[in-house]
């Protein structure tokens, strides 16, 4: 929700929009975990830190330094047994509430806002007697915002901004929400004035971005929602396709319908959630659909999209065929090195989709030509490792959503919406223990070259061949150590085939380069101008892999 600063606005107004990529200050660095100095820092938890640099607990309105709390408790000698009992009840309740609060923060950091909301609400409702329950109210307000209950979120932020005096993040968040959702610039200005009085850093955009890490959790929530809804739409079409007879299996129209439907739906959801400065670079456009004979297909797509919107229940609209065509065409942006652009592959791995195998809905956000966020929905990818074979037991549950924000790590969540877990690429250092991914389709990547590279490296396992950016997702959680992609001569890679996958892997600790060792450059429009191929692995294996790649390419060229 990035609104450009209007130069004609007052000094505060001109500053407020820079908060809008996320009015939600949940993406913070934890300097001081509340009551829990031993908890490792996470960048999303500063919300709960207090302004002091050592551990404090707010208890009954009094500020107590936590390092003294145990000492105080042990030296405290209550007169009666009843007072002793009361004291132990209080400390038990404090630990319960802190545990719930911490769990809420964790879930919020993972982007699981509905669950985070439950934990915060439980603290707010059941532990009112503790002053620190106000921090749960802040968490609750922000989680409410993320799950779409914005009225309630703003009301809660307003209340808590009064009870938690001197907490700049709440005022800044409120400023952004009042500006973006209530269209109340004067009220927003007041809140922003308070925030900047309490912490003048909020006027500094680089501080908000680099230190507070505010952007772009709103975008992430929107991207997850869009990709998940599209995944459901594609699953429905793939199921019907696989159940259909041979003749209609040879018909390409189901994939066409799902492809356009997915693009229209993602485009619609993103524009609903983040209307400001919308720009989308996507694979499809409506040219063919607008030709004679396309009307029936457009109607099928429109029905599919409307069914998905209705099943979600958050938007009370029915799209016309023209709305759908317009939504598809809003993906005509060229991208580039300036500004922010969404990048979408509505069905990556169409061949896999038709075969009933892997495919992905791949959505990324570019800012100034760099990928800052990526979401990969992989409806057929098992939740557990696909290991060295690419196979999984038939009972395994499938459907993964990978998501990553720059600086925030990579998470994987079941597509059914249950809790996310942080993922990491494998730590394997010995190529003999490594396995590698490549395209299922030999036309997309030279299998003979990857085989030569694997041989030089000493990789023993056979290639794991799967379609789409599900390869990046699987690699990000350590299912395999290497991904090799060497298109045949003359093929130009497109940004939507790699943007989401690239950040999902790099945020999980991996490295993605072209065959010359250069990072992929997403700033040049729709195409990635790169040398020969794309190689992906962990930091430790990259030098070995890189030499094997160089040698193999030379050898192959010499043999031609």
Ligand X SMILES: Nc1ncnc2c1ncn2[C@@H]1O[C@H](COP(=O)(O)O)[C@@H](OP(=O)(O)O)[C@H]1O
Residue 368 contacts by C-beta under 8 Å, 6 or more apart in sequence?
337, 338, 339, 523
Does 284 sit near ligand X (CB under 6 A)?
Answer: no
CA 443 to centroid of chain Cα atoms: 31
Q: How many residues bind Mg ion (CB under 5 A)?
A: 3
The smaller minimum CB distance to Mg ion, of residues 330 and 469, is found at 469
Among 102, 189, 367, 497, binds ligand X (CB under 6 A): 497
83: left (phi over 0), alpha (psi -120 to 50) or beta: alpha
Helix (H, G, I), strand (E, B) or coil at 525: coil
Among 439, 450, 476, 537, binds ligand X (CB under 6 A): 439
The smaller minimum CB distance to ligand X, of residues 32 and 468, is found at 468
Which stretch in 170-178, 328-336, 340-348, 538-546 sits in contact with Mg ion by CB under 5 A? 340-348
d(CA 202, CA 180): 17
Does 433 sit near ligand X (CB under 6 A)?
Answer: no
Residue nearest to Mg ion (CB): 348
The smaller minimum CB distance to ligand X, of residues 34 and 266, is found at 266
In the bound complex, what is the minimum distance in angstroms from residue 359's beta carbon to ligand X?
7
The smaller minimum CB distance to ligand X, of residues 308 and 468, is found at 468
d(CA 118, CA 419): 13
How do strand 340-348 and strand 534-538 relate by DSSP bridges? unpaired
Residue 482 contacts by C-beta under 8 Å, 6 or more apart in sequence?
434, 435, 436, 437, 454, 459, 475, 535, 536, 537, 541, 545
Q: How many residues bind ligand X (CB under 6 A)?
A: 17
Among 345, 357, 405, 493, binds Mg ion (CB under 5 A): 345
527 binds, among ligand X, Mg ion, none (CB under 5 to 8 A by kind): none
The smaller minimum CB distance to Mg ion, of residues 106 and 284, is found at 284
32 binds, among ligand X, Mg ion, none (CB under 5 to 8 A by kind): none
d(CA 346, CA 260): 7
List b or e across 41-67, with b for residues whose CB sees 16 or more CB atoms inside 10 angstroms. ebbbbbbbbbeeeebbbbbeeeeeebe
Does 480 sit near ligand X (CB under 6 A)?
Answer: no
The smaller minimum CB distance to ligand X, of residues 96 and 441, is found at 441
294 binds, among ligand X, Mg ion, none (CB under 5 to 8 A by kind): none
How do strand 527-528 and strand 421-423 relate by DSSP bridges? unpaired
In the bound complex, what is the minimum distance in angstroms from residue 481's beta carbon to ligand X?
17
Does 435 sit near ligand X (CB under 6 A)?
Answer: no
Query: Which residues form the catalytic set?
Result: 259, 350
Q: What are the CA-CA distances from residue 337 to residues 368, 371, 522, 526, 530 (Å)?
A: 5, 11, 8, 11, 16
Does 468 sit near ligand X (CB under 6 A)?
Answer: yes
Helix (H, G, I), strand (E, B) or coil at 77: coil
Residue nearest to ligand X (CB): 439
158 binds, among Mg ion, ligand X, none (CB under 5 to 8 A by kind): none
Does 273 sit near ligand X (CB under 6 A)?
Answer: no
The smaller minimum CB distance to ligand X, of residues 104 and 349, is found at 349
43: left (phi over 0), alpha (psi -120 to 50) or beta: alpha
Numbers of helices and strands, H then E, in the chain: 19, 16
Does 348 sit near Mg ion (CB under 5 A)?
Answer: yes
Among 112, 273, 357, 467, binds ligand X (CB under 6 A): 467
Are residues 548 and 457 in contact, defined by beta-carbon separation less than 8 angstroms? yes
In the bound complex, what is the minimum distance in angstroms from residue 518's beta carbon to Mg ion?
22
What angle separates helix 113-126 from helix 133-146, to the nearest 10 degrees? 150
Q: Show the tokens assigned to 241.
A: 């396709």
Omega before residue 547 within 30° of 0, cis: no
Does 284 sit near Mg ion (CB under 5 A)?
Answer: no
441 binds, among ligand X, Mg ion, none (CB under 5 to 8 A by kind): ligand X
The smaller minimum CB distance to Mg ion, of residues 497 and 507, is found at 497
Map the footprint of ligand X across residues 330-369, applying CB under 6 A.
Answer: 345, 347-350, 352
The smaller minimum CB distance to Mg ion, of residues 219 and 497, is found at 497
Which stretch in 23-31, 117-125, 169-177, 441-449 sits in contact with ligand X by CB under 6 A? 441-449
Q: Say how many CA atoms lie within 13 Å of 334 toward its Cβ.
A: 5
Does 73 sit near ligand X (CB under 6 A)?
Answer: no
Among 181, 312, 323, 441, binds ligand X (CB under 6 A): 441
533: left (phi over 0), alpha (psi -120 to 50) or beta: beta
In the bound complex, what is the minimum distance in angstroms from residue 345's beta carbon to Mg ion?
4
Map the footprint of Mg ion across residues 468-497, applying CB under 5 A.
Answer: 497
What angle separates helix 168-180 from helix 133-146, to the nearest 10 degrees? 20
In the bound complex, what is the minimum distance in angstroms from residue 199's beta carbon to Mg ion?
44
Residue whose pair of structure tokens reads 């549950």 in the numeric block: 397
The smaller minimum CB distance to Mg ion, of residues 134 and 514, is found at 514
Map the footprint of ligand X across residues 217-256, applying CB under 6 A.
Answer: none
Does 491 sit near ligand X (CB under 6 A)?
Answer: yes
Q: Show the tokens assigned to 116.
A: 């985070």
In the bound complex, what is the minimum distance in angstroms from residue 282's beta carbon to ligand X?
11
Query: CA torsion 330→331→336→342, rounded to 10°?
Result: 100
d(CA 427, CA 478): 8
Q: What are the CA-CA distances from residue 87 to residues 66, 69, 117 (Å)?
A: 16, 13, 29
d(CA 380, CA 385): 13
439 binds, among Mg ion, ligand X, none (CB under 5 to 8 A by kind): ligand X
Residues that bind Mg ion (CB under 5 A): 345, 348, 497
Residues that bind ligand X (CB under 6 A): 345, 347-350, 352, 439, 441, 443-444, 467-468, 487-488, 491, 494, 497
């Amino acid at each position: 929700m990035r609104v450009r600063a209007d130069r004609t606005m007052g000094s505060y107004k001109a500053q407020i929009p820079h908060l809008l990529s996320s009015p939600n200050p949940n993406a913070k660095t934890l300097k001081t975990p509340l009551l829990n100095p031993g908890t490792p820092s996470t960048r999303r938890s500063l919300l709960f830190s207090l302004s002091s640099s050592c551990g404090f607990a707010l208890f009954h309105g009094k500020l107590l330094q936590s390092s003294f709390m145990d000492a105080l408790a042990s030296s405290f000698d209550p007169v009666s047994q009843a007072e002793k009992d009361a004291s132990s009840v209080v400390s038990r309740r404090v630990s319960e509430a802190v545990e719930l609060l911490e769990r809420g923060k964790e879930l919020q950091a993972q982007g699981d806002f509905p669950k985070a909301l439950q934990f915060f609400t439980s603290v707010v409702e059941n532990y009112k007697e503790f002053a620190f329950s106000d921090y749960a109210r802040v968490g609750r307000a922000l989680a409410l915002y993320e799950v779409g209950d914005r009225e309630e979120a703003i009301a809660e932020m307003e209340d808590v901004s009064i009870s938690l005096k001197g907490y700049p993040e709440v005022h800044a968040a409120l400023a952004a929400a009042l500006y973006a959702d209530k269209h109340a610039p004067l009220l927003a200005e007041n809140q922003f004035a308070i925030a900047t009085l309490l912490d003048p850093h909020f006027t500094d955009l680089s501080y908000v971005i680099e230190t507070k890490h505010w952007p772009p959790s709103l975008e992430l929530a929107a991207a997850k929602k869009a990709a998940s809804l599209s995944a459901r739409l594609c699953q429905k079409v793939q199921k019907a396709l696989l159940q259909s007879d041979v003749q209609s299996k040879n018909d390409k129209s189901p994939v066409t319908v799902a492809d356009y439907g997915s693009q229209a739906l993602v485009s619609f959801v993103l524009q609903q959630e983040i209307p400001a400065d919308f720009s989308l670079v996507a694979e499809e456009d409506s040219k063919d659909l607008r030709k004679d004979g396309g009307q029936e297909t457009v109607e099928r797509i429109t029905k599919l999209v409307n069914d998905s919107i209705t099943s979600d229940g958050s938007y009370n609209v029915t799209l016309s065929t023209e709305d759908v065509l317009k939504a598809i065409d809003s993906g005509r942006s060229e991208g580039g090195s300036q500004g922010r652009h969404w990048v979408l592959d509505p069905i990556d791995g169409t061949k896999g989709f038709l075969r009933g195998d892997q495919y992905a809905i791949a959505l990324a956000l570019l800012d100034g030509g760099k990928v800052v966020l990526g979401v990969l929905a992989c409806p057929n990818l098992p939740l557990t490792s696909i290991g060295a074979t690419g196979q999984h037991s038939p009972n395994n549950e499938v459907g993964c959503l990978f998501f990553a924000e720059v600086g925030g790590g990579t998470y994987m969540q079941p597509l059914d919406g249950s809790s996310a877990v942080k993922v990491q690429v494998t730590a394997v250092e010995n190529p003999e223990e490594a396995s590698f991914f490549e395209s299922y389709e030999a036309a997309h990547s030279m299998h003979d070259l990857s085989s030569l590279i694997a041989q030089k490296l000493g990789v023993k396992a056979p290639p794991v061949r799967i379609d789409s950016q599900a390869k990046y997702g699987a690699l990000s959680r350590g299912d395999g150590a290497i991904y090799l992609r060497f298109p045949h001569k003359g093929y130009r890679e497109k940004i939507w085939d790699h943007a989401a996958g690239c950040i999902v892997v790099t945020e999980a600790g991996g490295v993605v380069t072209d065959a010359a060792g250069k990072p992929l450059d997403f700033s040049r429009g729709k195409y990635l101008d790169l040398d020969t191929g794309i190689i992906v692995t962990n930091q430790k294996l990259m030098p070995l892999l890189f030499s094997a790649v160089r040698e193999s390419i030379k050898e192959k060229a010499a043999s031609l």
